[in-house]
Amino acid sequence: MSYREDVALEGVSLSVGRGEFVGVIGPNGAGKTTLLSVINGLGRLTHGRVHVLGKTPHRRDGYLLRRRVGYVAQVEPVDPRLPISVRESVMVGLYGRLGWLRRPGRSEWARVDAALEQVGMTHLAARPIGHLSGGEYQRVAIARALAQAPEIFLFDEPTASIDPQAQHEILDLIQDIHRRNHATTLYVTHALDTLPRACDRLVLLKGGRLWREGPTAAMLDPALLRALYNGADAPPALRGG
């Protein structure tokens, strides 16, 4: 499978059960983001097969499957003058499910408001999206995914580029969402100190290959991690809820 023109993952065979919380770790360039992009059908599959919720995401109608998958990317730069409010931005999460020509009604706005309340952003609902801090922006991204009511959550380095306090709060929020919704969750990070403790299983990627996978405690063996990161990162101290 490839991301843009480079082949980023090879020989990966991975199965994730319904309701599982799977952490994906590895150094930069290991293929973590590519793995998520293949699951939601936005990455290009050059060989092999992918089945998500019983469907193939890489067909022309892959966008129908994406309506059932919530994706939270890392913080991205947003034009502070962008003409869209926090509440409208969360509503975008529901647009795919609404389909062509249907407008959001009262029930959709109620779902948006409930999602904003769950992430603690009700008080900023009317604020322009570009006026948020990194941590606030990520809460909105999570609310957007929540409003979508997905069967799978994909988190791609959601705590990157935000301050430690906000990272801690986002991790708590993600774990709380998993506890409440029991949705299948894949969480990607290269920084081990932002790995949620709620992960049932860890997948270790290295050089575009699935290097190891297993129960979280076993995969966090310091010797294993030193080998994974080639000694570049210190062994982790788990944190989070």
Partner 1 sequence: MDFSFLQHTYAWHALIAGCCAGVTCALAGVFVVTMHLAFLGVCIAHAAFAGGLMGVWLGFDPLVGALAFSLGVAAMVGPMADRGDITPDASIGILFSLMIGLAFLFIGLVPGSRSEALNLFWGSILTVSRADLAVLIAAAVIMAGGVTLFYKEVQAVLCHRHVAMAVGIPATLVFYGMLFATGLTIAVSLRIIGGLLIYSLIINPAAAAFQLTYSLKRMMLLACLFGVLSCWTGLAASFLWDLPAGASIVIASCIIFAVAAACSPKKRVKAWKRAHTAG
The contact set with partner 1 (CB under 8 A) reads 4, 40, 42, 63-69, 71, 73, 76, 79-85, 88-89, 92-98, 100-101, 103-104, 128-135, 141, 144, 148, 162-163, 165-166
Q: How far is the CB of 137 from partner 1 (least distance, A)?
A: 9
Q: How far is the CB of 191 from partner 1 (least distance, A)?
A: 17
Between CA 194 and CA 192 the distance in angstroms is 5
State which residue, 174 or 228, has the beta carbon closest to partner 1: 174
Burial readout 60-75 (b: 16 or more C-beta within 10 A, e: otherwise) = eeeeebbbbbbbbbbb
State which residue, 127 or 212, has the beta carbon closest to partner 1: 127
Q: How far is the CB of 79 from partner 1 (least distance, A)?
A: 7
Q: How many CB atoms lie within 10 A of CB 3?
A: 18
First to last CA, the chain: 34
State which residue, 25 or 162, has the beta carbon closest to partner 1: 162
Sign of the torsion formed by the C-alpha atoms of 114, 118, 124 and 127: negative
Q: How far is the CB of 202 from partner 1 (least distance, A)?
A: 24
**How many CA atoms within 13 Å lie on the side-chain side of 123?**
2
Q: Are strands 201-206 and 2-3 parallel, antiparallel or unpaired?
A: unpaired
State which residue, 169 or 219, has the beta carbon closest to partner 1: 169
Q: How far is the CB of 71 from partner 1 (least distance, A)?
A: 4
State which residue, 11 or 83, has the beta carbon closest to partner 1: 83
Between CA 171 and CA 241 the distance in angstroms is 7
Q: How far is the CB of 182 from partner 1 (least distance, A)?
A: 21
State which residue, 8 or 94, has the beta carbon closest to partner 1: 94
Amino acid at the residue 241: G
**How many CA atoms within 13 Å lie on the side-chain side of 113?**
7
